[in-house]
Chain A
Amino acid sequence: MSLNKLLERIAQLLPVLLGVSVIVFVMMALTPGDPVQIMIGDQSITPEQEAELRRGLGLDRPMIERFFIFLGDAVQFDFGESFYHRRPVGDVIAERLPATIELSLVALIVALVTAIPLGVLAAIRKNSIFDRIATVGSLLGVSLPGFWFGILLLMLFAVHLHILPVSGRIGFDAEVRMVTGFLLIDTLLAGNLRAFGDALAHLILPAITLGLPMTAILMRVTRTSMLEVLRQDYVTFADAKGLSRRRVLFRHALKNALIPTVSVAAIETGSLLGGNMIVETVFGWPGLGRLVVESIFLRNYPLVQAAVLFYAVTYVLLNFIADLLYTVLNPRVKL
């Protein structure tokens, strides 16, 4: 892919990002309820102080001007102050983000590690009992409501078997100094293996719940694409050359079969963002998703606005990366 093509694709991103910002701004600007009144709460202030507050928030200016101020501030990660936390929204989000990223990455790893071998096996043993079970499993995976599946896992592994923790990121007794915000890394940096094990145990159920729909989708994609590749002439030729079945499958077929899987995985990583809100709520995970849900009920709109924008921009960028990955991995496809 040439540099020009890449720049062209990046240029195409800009109107989408601008449109996304317009929608997020309008969404929150039209939200019923006066932000100043929400900020004041039950405190008593003079009309002059209220007018000053309104001026400070820029609410006395025309809508279009407010949008450009919002956009300018957003580019500098300035989203105003969280009504509830009385701190800059950007700081509150940055504080919660590592928990969400850590959970999403582990869910992604769970999905890839499970889906690829299962998809390949289902393709190799097409129409076998294993293939049928895998097909039913993948259908179940996309049909299971995440919040319910999470509760079932909690009931089984936390409440009845007592082998995994119920909620949170780490036990109350563990003391870990935050360096990166990623507990798995911070516990290792501190050389505290007990806390590492505890953090990992807290991650298992939320990561499985979050990764399940993705596992189901990736398994189907891997199976279909592996079947497609196994029908290709070069695979037949490799077989005819007398290469071992293992070598044909893993050196020749799998490499090409994984192209769509990687691309779909990049797209589906974006959908993990939505799933986070549900999973974090079920498992009391102190991440961004739970923060957004709590903020909606607290009418903490600057935070909701910033988080929705953050999610949307991340989603657009992930889709862009998915497009690029597909092109890089598959030179036959041109952007």
Chain B
Amino acid sequence: MTMTADTPVASESIFRRNLSNFAANRLAMACALIVVLFAVMAVFAPWIAPHDPNETDLFRRLQPPAWIAGGEWSFLLGCDALGRDILSRIIYGARISIFIGLAVIFVATTVGILAGLAAGYLRGWVDVLISRLVDILLGFPYLIFAIGLMAMMGPGLWNIILALAYKEWVIPARVVRGETLVTRELEYVEAARALGASRWHIMLREILPNVLSPVIVVATIRMAHVIILEASLSFLGLGVQPPTASWGSMVSDGRAFILEAWWVSTFPGLAILLLVLAINVASQGLRDAFDPRFSE
């Protein structure tokens, strides 16, 4: 890969070949489609959701799903303890999960790429500093680190993104550092150096395109993890605050009613499972297509 990647045409054709490998994996493609559907649902939530997600109606308190006696087809998945439509809240909750997942991965990947490139290419004290910081952050169990930060910063959308991104960046940073250490010794990079290209030019224009594939694969794998972490924080009451609909807090709300209204917790949890499973299968397909070293 690295031998031919120095010409744009070659690297593009490799990218296309990888993409067609991915497209040939029908299960992974189906799961990618599910992820896209969730994303569409999140973006167009105001048009898709049958009801206002925060509209309460105590006459509909714990109303069962449509197919159970007492249910109504206009409230397909039933209502929660405040009489809010569960389906509409799931549709709006997708916005929170997907937005936080994407935002954390975007921030973490950007910071991780820059840190990894700097550590791997510049070496010396920059590498020592970044690598030690990575080691220290890896010393925290993820959820505990995020919980500690949320305790410090207080709940809220942007605080969750920061709390998760503070640790998440170390993963792409490690990947990029490792790839950069190999790539920096290749002839075309030496040639660029000999031609007097600046460090930033070499890092961003010569090395970065070559290390992007593994970063994309890692980013998709981590996205599923981040969505579960966000839901876990929301479940504990440290995430997005009520009345905003988030899947984790919806599951938590339903805990008090598992004797009489199983649907309040079950459907939001099912939404998390479906999205995370789809991302996991799709990212596995992506990994097999883009990084054959990992395929079994």
Which residues of A approach B to under 8 Å, CB–CB?
15-17, 19-20, 23-24, 27-28, 30-32, 139-140, 142-149, 151-152, 154-155, 159, 224, 227, 270-271, 273-275, 277-278, 281-282, 292-293, 296-297, 301, 304, 308, 311-312, 315-316, 319
Which of the residues A19, A144, A275, A278 comes within 8 Å of B273, measured between beta carbons?
A144
B29 at the interface (CB under 8 A from A): no
Provide the B7-32 mask, 1 if CB < 8 A to any CB of A, else 0.
00000000000000000000000000
B248 at the interface (CB under 8 A from A): yes
B36 at the interface (CB under 8 A from A): no
| A301 smallest CB distance to B (angstroms) | 8
Which of the residues A147, A159, A227, A293 comes within 8 Å of B248, measured between beta carbons?
A147
Which of the residues A146, A274, A293 comes within 8 Å of B142, measured between beta carbons?
A274
In this complex, what residue of B is CB-closest to A24?
Answer: B148
In Å, the complex CA distance between A301 and B133 comes to: 25
In this complex, what residue of A is CB-closest to B228?
Answer: A145
Contact (Cβ within 8 A) B141 A274: yes
A315 and B141 contact, Cβ closer than 8 Å, known pairs A30-B152, A293-B236: yes
B208 at the interface (CB under 8 A from A): no
Closest 4 CB pairs of A and B: A148-B269, A19-B136, A274-B143, A274-B141
Within 8 A of A (CB), among B142-183: 142-145, 147-152, 154
| B161 smallest CB distance to A (angstroms) | 17
Contact (Cβ within 8 A) A139 B258: no
Contact (Cβ within 8 A) B281 A312: no
Contact (Cβ within 8 A) B238 A296: yes
Contact (Cβ within 8 A) A143 B141: no
Contact (Cβ within 8 A) A311 B144: yes
Q: What are the residues of chain A within 8 A of B39 when measuring CB–CB?
A: none
B91 at the interface (CB under 8 A from A): no
Provide the B239-260 mask, 1 if CB < 8 A to any CB of A, else 0.
0000000001001101100110
13 pairs from A and B in contact (CB 8 Å cutoff): A16-B136, A23-B136, A28-B148, A139-B284, A145-B228, A145-B276, A148-B273, A227-B296, A274-B144, A293-B147, A308-B148, A315-B141, A319-B139
In this complex, what residue of A is CB-closest to B143?
Answer: A274
Which of the residues A140, A142, A148 comes within 8 Å of B251, measured between beta carbons?
A148
Interface size bucket, B side? 35 or more
Majority SS of interface residues in chain B?
helix
In Å, the complex CA distance between A142 and B258 comes to: 24
| B241 smallest CB distance to A (angstroms) | 13
Q: What are the residues of chain B within 8 A of A275 when measuring CB–CB?
A: 143
In Å, the complex CA distance between A24 and B143 comes to: 14
Contact (Cβ within 8 A) A147 B141: no
B231 at the interface (CB under 8 A from A): yes
Contact (Cβ within 8 A) B148 A145: no
A312 and B144 contact, Cβ closer than 8 Å, known pairs A27-B152, A139-B280: yes
In Å, the complex CA distance between A121 and B255 comes to: 37
Contact (Cβ within 8 A) A151 B139: no
B277 at the interface (CB under 8 A from A): yes
B262 at the interface (CB under 8 A from A): yes
Which of the residues B143, B252, B262, B280 comes within 8 Å of A277, measured between beta carbons?
B143
In this complex, what residue of A is CB-closest to B229?
Answer: A274
Given A277-B144, A278-B236, 14 more pairs with CB closer than 8 A: A15-B135, A16-B139, A17-B139, A19-B139, A32-B152, A32-B154, A155-B262, A224-B296, A273-B144, A281-B235, A293-B236, A308-B144, A308-B148, A316-B139
Contact (Cβ within 8 A) A281 B236: yes
Provide the B104-141 mask, 1 if CB < 8 A to any CB of A, else 0.
00000000000000000000000000001101111111
In Å, the complex CA distance between A270 and B138 comes to: 11
In Å, the complex CA distance between A14 and B190 comes to: 37
Task: Identify which of B148, B224, B277 gathers the most chain A CB atoms within 10 Å of its CB.
Answer: B148
B237 at the interface (CB under 8 A from A): yes
Contact (Cβ within 8 A) B140 A315: yes
